[in-house]
Amino acid sequence: MSTVTLEEPPMEAPQRLATIKTDENSEVASKIMAQFHALPTPVEDNPLLKTPCKDALNGTTFLPPLVMDTPPESPVVCEKPQTVLSNLHDGPVSPEHKKMHPPSSGFLPLEPPSLTSLIQSMSDKDPYNTLDKALILDSAREIVRQLENPGERAMELLMSFSIVPILKIAVDMDIFQLLATHSELTASQIARFSGAEEEFVVRIMRVLASLHITTITSPRTYTHTPLSQTFTAPPLAAGISVVHEQAFRAASRLPEYIAAHGYHNPSNPRTGPYQFAFNTFDSWFEWLAIRPRAAANFNAFMTGYRAAKPAWAALFPVEDLLFQGLPDANHADVTVVDVGGGFGHDLHILAEHCARKPGRLICQDQASVVGSVPAALRDQAPRVEFMTHDFFTPQPIHGARAYVLKHICHDWPHEMAVQILRNIRGAMTPGYSKLFILDLVMPQGRVGLPAAGLDVVMMSGFAGTEREERLWRELVEEAGLRVAGVWVGEDGDGLLEVVFDGEMI
């Protein structure tokens, strides 16, 4: 059983501005709250709200509304859409894309055989087939919504507070691992394996079974499910710790913080909801940098949680963007710099995709991250070079073909994200270098909870934000750069191709 550590002691860090106290009325918390009360009108201070909006619909790319255009009584056939839905060079949505739309109201009269055949037809397609799945899941959820009693559903939503803490306990007790290695386990066996009290085990297993994460096969006897098996993957187990220890805790104090802030977006990553919840002036990353165990969880989560999705190098036309238009002789110059690249996982995938192409692949991150890259990962892709670099300082690698910022900008408020981009601009060769920004491009329509929830993590943990295309364009232009193309995948994952036309500022 893993040891449960309630609060990891921070390492010595002279640069820290305040010690972490558990007392929420500590000096730090009261200072943060005092600042908010002193703020006259946060709207005036917020660059996101100050900047004039362009026409919101002008050139906007978003997941097209799903339109069910097959008559319900005939077998439903979903066309496989292009993975990459749109490139703004060619207009917002590719003409080949078939729009599908789950009904937003009313009951979808799907005949069970049609639904079954639809699900079966998915098996021969790619393993992600997100649009097909979205259609079926949306239809199935609509059926549930029609059937469920709103009062019961409301209670279910209220009780969902328990999910994250119970998942964390299950991971700490190694329950998912235990179930994965035994065909069936009783509460008393789990209690014996994990050193817990049997009656406590029963209560934890009750919650897991209520969520269909595990199955109760007979009284006090449990088996695994595909979902419980999924939680045995180290990145996901690490992710549960990250979400519980950082995101959940910060979000739990968000209502108080945001009420004191006049219901405006947090805009300072050192005095945001996270700092209010943790009684510190450290940013999320500074907090992590002095807690090796929490940092290891965060990096493992970042390295592996994308495993459930296609890699960006496979999702977007990265090779074309890198090599198109270059004479073969120049391919040796193609250097890709992944700025804030963590353990280099994305460059590993790029190295596989471009195995026959020469060129340097450089992964930059903070010293604490670069220093903890596991040796096995370095050995796996010896071509990836690691370099310590703070992206708030000028980019030291000049004239690379591509700089990559994946899941970086969403961690930072507007002004700081502009600074990150400007530092890269200073190293770009006009007409040759490109900047690939990989982050969600929020559609204006509905998104699923993973995307909407991630935005709440950015809001409460980082004073950052997921951005709509309009906000991306404002950010890029303010940094003196230009958006040359936007690709948006089915679930909002986006790639912005950004170029530098020459001195503009």
Q: Which residues are catalytic?
A: 410
Q: Are 215 and 225 in contact (CB under 8 A)?
A: yes
DSSP letter for each residue of 222-277:
EE--HHHHHTTSHHHHHHHHHIIIIIIHHHHTHHHHHHHTTS-----TTSSHHHHH
Interacting span for ligand SAM (CB under 6 A) from 237-245, 316-324, 407-415, 449-457? 407-415
Pick from 392, 396, 415, 430 the residue near ligand SAM by CB under 6 A.
392
Q: Determine if 423 is a binding residue for ligand SAM (CB under 6 A).
A: no
Rounded Cα gap, residues 338 and 365, in angstroms = 9
Pick from 391, 436, 487, 500 the residue near ligand SAM by CB under 6 A.
391
Q: Which residue is nearest to ligand SAM (CB)?
A: 340
C-beta of 389: minimal distance to ligand SAM in Å? Answer: 6
Q: Cβ closer to ligand SAM: 218 or 393? A: 393
Interacting span for ligand SAM (CB under 6 A) from 143-151, 251-259, 390-398, 480-488? 390-398
C-beta of 390: minimal distance to ligand SAM in Å? Answer: 4
Q: Determine if 408 is a binding residue for ligand SAM (CB under 6 A).
A: yes
**Around Cβ 35, how many Cβ atoms within 10 Å?**
13
Amino acid, res. 463: A
Element (H, E) at 434: strand 434-442
Q: Cβ closer to ligand SAM: 366 or 460? A: 366
Q: Are 380 and 408 in contact (CB under 8 A)?
A: no
Strand order in the sheet with 185-186: 185-186, 221-223, 215-218
The footprint of ligand SAM on residues 296-325 (CB under 6 A) is 302
Interacting span for ligand SAM (CB under 6 A) from 104-112, 137-145, 221-229, 334-342? 334-342
* Among the listed residues 122, 123, 144, the one whose alpha carbon sits nearest the alpha carbon of residue 131: 122
Q: Cβ closer to ligand SAM: 222 or 287? A: 287
Element (H, E) at 440: strand 434-442
Pick from 366, 395, 433, 465 the residue near ligand SAM by CB under 6 A.
366
Pick from 285, 296, 353, 394 the residue near ligand SAM by CB under 6 A.
285
Q: Determine if 342 is a binding residue for ligand SAM (CB under 6 A).
A: yes
Q: Are 163 and 153 in contact (CB under 8 A)?
A: no
C-beta of 408: minimal distance to ligand SAM in Å? Answer: 6
Number of residues that bind ligand SAM (CB under 6 A): 16
Q: Cβ closer to ligand SAM: 224 or 407? A: 407
C-beta of 145: minimal distance to ligand SAM in Å? Answer: 33
The interface mask with ligand SAM, positions 31-70, x = CB under 6 A, is ----------------------------------------
Please, what is the end-to-end C-alpha distance for the chain in angstroms? 58
Q: Determine if 485 is a binding residue for ligand SAM (CB under 6 A).
A: no
* Nearby residues of 186 by Cβ (< 8 Å), 6 or more positions away: 220, 221, 222
Q: Determine if 348 is a binding residue for ligand SAM (CB under 6 A).
A: no
Pick from 340, 464, 489, 494 the residue near ligand SAM by CB under 6 A.
340
* Among the listed residues 377, 470, 485, the one whose alpha carbon sits nearest the alpha carbon of residue 435: 485
* Nearby residues of 105 by Cβ (< 8 Å), 6 or more positions away: none
DSSP letter for each residue of 182-214:
SS-EEHHHHHHHHT--HHHHHHHHHHHHHTTSS
C-beta of 406: minimal distance to ligand SAM in Å? Answer: 4
Interacting span for ligand SAM (CB under 6 A) from 100-108, 216-224, 257-265, 389-397? 389-397
Element (H, E) at 152: helix 150-159
- Alpha helices by DSSP H, 11-129: 27-38, 42-45, 47-50, 112-122
Interface ranges with ligand SAM (CB under 6 A): 285, 302, 340-342, 365-366, 369, 389-392, 406-408, 411
